[in-house]
């Protein structure tokens, strides 16, 4: 039994899952602190600011992460170093652009923003610089299947932020500027940690080449469109709520997003291992294996999230009180709407990643772009008609259904062996094998 447990613990899926569990655990703790330490309006502003920073960070991630995985997996060390050096060159150039743009807006258009947002603008570009080394390290570690090291990075970044928040609370110095300062400090500490351990491969910057730079850029720009469109879904929800209702509505709407972190933990963990696996099959032009991989991952994750969805539905209100307070109970119906639609999350996510990895990022971009447009239109129409936060949750569920139908239709065109029934079959087989590996064997006596 002990050897079985060790084999599971050393598994890359377990390490990926553990990293995301740790990240979510610390995020929930820091969220619970902030929701109690800040006023409803101030917390809503912080949620929107963090979403803005995350979009900038995700643009950089989209441009480079998938390209690093695609072009460095299974290649010789020299090619790997060239790809890494080219990625460093692009990331530094893009980060410099963020810094310049944020300061231009700060000085030229500051009068158009509130005092809080004028202050935030000054830090947007700086934060992308502070987070660059540790983000880059996670991309390289994922490409090398070193998810055990990624666990350390997650602990350092999220754990340090939580500790700094606790210090602010003890010193009674909690305010939006101070929260931003300690968040930025946690980014800096984590980046220094990754640089000290050499996980960033910064020295490869000197061997970048124009050919590799253009190769990464041409591949990544389409994925940027997909990821930005996808990232703007929640951002557009928050923006519509803040504009058409009030910042407090944004704070209430953030509660179901934290509930969905439970589902996202499992999804992100398996997506991290799915990317290099399906990419290797596609690079070998083994479309049957790519289809099997897609069905196996999608079916397994769909079955795995069902118990969590049921549990969260049963204990929605008590969990809201634990996570925040009774003030946020109006989020109950929104949470339940999101949970009912969560069953479609795996097929939507893996469809998008599969399209990217089989070199069809343009199709995934169109899928996410249409999903975003539909979401914005439905948000505006439904909120204008009903003036209710629940309208935004319904809009999100409807465009998720559209994305699943659209994505599966086109993926089936490129993976002819793909069948919807295989998702359930392969998923059930994989879950049974997992249970068998964990089940202790009875001792046999003669």
Q: How far apart are the C-alpha atoms of 389 and 206, rounded to whole Å?
A: 51
For residues 51-70, give the mean pLDDT: 82
In the structure encoding, which two tokens stand for residue 205, read together?
């910057």
pLDDT digits 0-9 by tens, 205-256: 887 778 888 888 887 877 777 777 776 777 778 778 877 777 777 777 877 7
Q: What angle is formed at CA 106 by the lines to CA 101 and CA 109, rounded to 5 degrees? A: 100
Count of C-beta atoms within a 10 Å radius of residue 439: 10
CB–CB of 131/57 below 8 Å?
yes
pLDDT for the residue 440: 53
Give the model confidence (pLDDT) of 319-347 as tens digits. Answer: 888 777 677 777 888 888 888 888 898 89
> Which of 70-79, 87-96, 218-227 is predicted least confidently?
70-79
**Share of residues in the chain with pLDDT > 70 (%):** 89
Three-class HEC string of the chain: CHHHHHHHHCCHHHHHHHHHHHHHHHHHHHHHHHHHHCCHHHHHHHHHHHHHHHHHHHHHHHHHHHHHHHHHCCCCHHHHHHHHHHHHHHHHHHHHHHHHHHHHHHHHCHHHCCHHHHHHHHHHHHHHHHHHHHHHHHHHHHHCCCHHHHHHHHHHHHHHHHHHHHHHHHHCCCCHHHHHHHHHHHHHHHHHHHHHCCCCCHHHHHHCCHHHHHHHHHHHHHHHHHHHHHHHHHHHHHHHHHHHCCHHHHHHHHHHHHHCHHHHHHHHHHHHHHHHHHHHHHHCCCHHHHHHHHHHHHHHHHHHHHHHHHHHHHCHHHHHHHHCCHHHHHHHHHHHHHHHHHHHHHHHHHHHHHHHHCCCHHHHHHHHHHHHHHHHHHHHHHHHHHCCCHHHHHHHHHHHHHHHHHHHHHHHHHCCCCCHHHHHHHHHHHHHHHHHHHCCCCCCCC
Residue-wise pLDDT tens digits, 98-132:
999 888 888 887 667 677 777 778 888 899 999 99
Average per-residue pLDDT for the chain? 80
**How far is 31 from 229, CA to CA, in rounded Å?**
25
Q: What pLDDT sits at residue 132?
A: 93
Phi, psi (deg, nearest 5) at residue 16:
-65, -45
Q: How confident is the model at residue 95, as a pLDDT?
A: 93
Position 419 pLDDT exceeds 50: yes
Look up tokens 């919807």; give the residue: 420
Q: What are phi and psi of 197, to 5 degrees?
A: -90, 0
Residues 241, 38: Cα–Cα separation, whole Å: 19
Structural contact between residues 175 and 46, judged by C-beta atoms closer than 8 angstroms: no
Cβ of 322: how many Cβ atoms within 10 Å? Answer: 11
Q: Please say if the pLDDT value at position 445 is more than 70.
A: no
For residue 444, the model assigns a pLDDT of 44
pLDDT of 5: 40
- Residues 365-380 pLDDT 10s: 888 888 888 888 888 8
Tokens of 178: 């101070």
Of 433 and 415, the structure prediction assigns the larger pLDDT to 415
Would residue 419 be called left, alpha or beta, if left means φ above 0 and alpha means ψ between -120 and 50 degrees?
beta
Question: In this prediction, what percent of the chain has a pLDDT beyond 90?
Answer: 8
Q: Write the pLDDT tens digit of every residue in 178-208.
A: 888 999 999 999 999 999 988 988 888 887 7
Residue 287: how many CA atoms within 13 Å on its side-chain side?
11
């Amino acid at each position: 039994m002990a050897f079985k447990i060790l084999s599971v613990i050393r598994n890359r899926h377990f390490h990926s899952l553990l990293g995301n569990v740790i990240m979510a655990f610390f995020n929930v703790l820091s969220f619970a602190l902030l929701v109690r330490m800040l006023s409803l309006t101030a917390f809503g502003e912080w949620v929107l600011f963090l979403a803005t920073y995350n979009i900038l960070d995700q643009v950089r991630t989209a441009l480079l992460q998938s390209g690093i995985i695609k072009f460095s997996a299974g290649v010789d060390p020299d090619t790997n170093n060239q790809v890494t050096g080219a990625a460093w060159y692009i990331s530094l150039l893009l980060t410099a652009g963020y810094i310049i743009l944020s300061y231009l807006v700060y000085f030229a258009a500051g009068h158009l923003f509130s005092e809080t947002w004028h202050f935030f603008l000054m830090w947007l570009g700086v934060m992308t610089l502070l987070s660059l080394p540790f983000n880059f390290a996670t991309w390289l570690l994922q490409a090398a299947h070193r998810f055990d090291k990624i666990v350390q990075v997650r602990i350092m970044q999220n754990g340090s932020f939580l500790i700094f928040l606790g210090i602010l609370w003890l010193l009674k110095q909690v305010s939006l500027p101070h929260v931003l300062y300690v968040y930025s400090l946690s980014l800096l500490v984590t980046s220094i940690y990754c640089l000290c351990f050499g996980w960033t491969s910064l020295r490869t910057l000197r061997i970048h080449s124009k050919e590799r730079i253009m190769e990464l850029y041409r591949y990544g720009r389409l994925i940027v469109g997909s990821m930005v469109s996808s990232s703007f879904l929640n951002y557009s929800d928050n923006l519509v709520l803040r504009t058409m209702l009030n910042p407090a509505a944004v704070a209430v709407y953030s509660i179901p997003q934290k509930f969905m972190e439970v589902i996202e933990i499992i999804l992100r963990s398996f997506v991290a291992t799915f990317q290099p696996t399906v990419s290797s099959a596609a690079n070998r032009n083994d479309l049957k294996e790519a289809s099997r991989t897609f069905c196996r991952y999608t079916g397994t994750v769909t079955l795995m999230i069902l118990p969590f969805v049921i549990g969260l539905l049963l204990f929605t209100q008590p969990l809201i009180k634990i996570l925040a307070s009774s003030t946020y109970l109006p989020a109950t119906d929104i949470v339940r709407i999101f949970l009912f639609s969560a069953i479609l999350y795996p097929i939507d996510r893996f469809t998008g990643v599969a399209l990217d990895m089989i070199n069809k990022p343009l199709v995934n971009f169109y899928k996410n772009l249409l999903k975003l447009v539909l979401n914005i239109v439905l948000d505006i129409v439904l909120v204008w008609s009903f003036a209710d936060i629940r309208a935004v949750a319904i809009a999100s569920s409807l465009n998720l259904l559209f994305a699943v139908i659209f994505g599966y239709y086109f993926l089936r065109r490129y993976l002819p062996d793909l069948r919807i029934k295989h998702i359930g079959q392969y998923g059930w087989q994989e879950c049974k094998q997992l249970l068998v590996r964990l089940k202790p064997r009875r001792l046999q006596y003669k």
